[in-house]
Amino acid sequence: MSELFELLIGEGIEEDEEELGWQERALCAQTDPESFFPEKGGSTREAKKVCLACEVRAECLEYALANDERFGIWGGLSERERRRLKKSAV
């Protein structure tokens, strides 16, 4: 199991393999995971560029929103962008 896959599902979270099968097709699993978790003030440009071409971007974003992921780029959005999206949906 790749390090990024473990990061995506988080420690202690057990999910049905079918439900998380999208993660195996995620482009981020084939790239440097550090670009998806930049330090505060760091650039998110490279990670977002990868997300734009990813076939499972929607599933990734849905997962992040459902699991209240607070760090990193998920589905092409930063934490701040996801927070805004959740707020506007309410």
Name residue 77's beta-bridge partners.
74
4 assigned to a ligand binding site: no
Does the annotation place 68 within a ligand binding site? no
Residue 75 CB partners (closer than 8 Å, separation 6+): 51, 57, 58, 59, 60, 61, 62, 63, 64, 82
Is residue 47 annotated as involved in ligand binding? no
Is 20 within any annotated ligand binding site?
no
Q: Which residues are annotated as a binding site for [4Fe-4S] cluster?
A: 28, 51, 54, 60
Q: Which residues are annotated as a binding site?
A: 28, 51, 54, 60
